[in-house]
């Protein structure tokens, strides 16, 4: 009987000590914020210089984890001269964006984000769009300008699949990109 009591006592002591040192991803107190940001991206579409504009927004958990979304569209005129007459390329995409901020309280820090979603491609006059799948990982260098504003400059790769409009291919829409963003919110 004494052995059982001593065993239970040791188990309680070990459990209590373990709970005092336990660290979790999300604890009892969650700090929450969020932001919205206009974004400009410089890339390549069908072998031409491309400017995409749009925005992103996210909920920020404990100053570190971001869950949100973004959407971007081609804003400059690009024509596919492989067809006659050369139709104007129209391309846009958006989706879920997830991210992690590294050292958010430092004046200059990093954020790693990834977009997964879909988009549409049209050649010529507005009409039915070809649906595409998009994955876009990105690394940003972030500057804390004010407590409510951040400037982010980054780069990543836009991977596009399921392009069915001939002569366009997945490779015509997949490309490296550089982006600039002004984030406004509570970080």
| pLDDT tens digits along 122-169 | 988 777 789 999 999 999 999 999 999 999 999 999 999 999 988 899
* Residue-level pLDDT at 22: 58
Q: Are 97 and 69 in contact (CB under 8 A)?
A: yes
pLDDT computed for residue 126 by the predictor: 74
Output the pLDDT for position 84: 82
What is the CB neighbour count within 10 angstroms for residue 10? 10
For tokens 């992690």, what's the residue? 100
Which residue do the tokens 């409510």 mark? 148
Residue closest to 76 by CA, chosen among 53, 56, 51: 51
Which ranges of the chain have pLDDT less than 70? Answer: 1-27
How far apart are alpha carbons 56 and 70 in whole angstroms?
4
Count other C-beta atoms under 10 Å from residue 26's C-beta: 9
The pLDDT of residue 25 is 58
Question: Can you give the pTM of this predicted structure?
Answer: 0.82
């Amino acid at each position: 009987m004494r052995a059982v009591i001593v065993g239970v006592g040791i188990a309680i002591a070990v459990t209590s000590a373990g709970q005092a040192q336990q660290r979790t991803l999300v604890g009892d107190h969650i700090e929450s914020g969020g932001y919205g940001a206009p974004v400009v991206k410089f890339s390549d579409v069908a072998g031409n210089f491309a400017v995409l504009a749009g925005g992103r927004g996210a909920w920020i958990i404990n100053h570190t984890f971001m869950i949100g979304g973004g959407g971007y569209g081609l804003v400059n005129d690009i024509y596919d001269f492989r067809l006659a007459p050369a139709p104007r390329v129209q391309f846009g995409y958006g989706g879920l964006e997830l991210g992690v901020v590294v050292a958010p309280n430092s004046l200059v820090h990093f954020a790693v984000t990834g977009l997964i979603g879909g988009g549409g491609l049209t050649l010529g006059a507005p009409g039915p769009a070809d649906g595409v799948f998009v994955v876009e990982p990105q690394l940003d260098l972030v500057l804390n300008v004010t407590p409510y504003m951040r400037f982010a400059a980054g780069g990543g790769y836009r991977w596009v699949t399921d392009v069915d409009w001939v002569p366009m291919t997945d490779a015509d829409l997949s490309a490296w990109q550089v982006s600039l963003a002004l984030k406004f919110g509570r970080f």
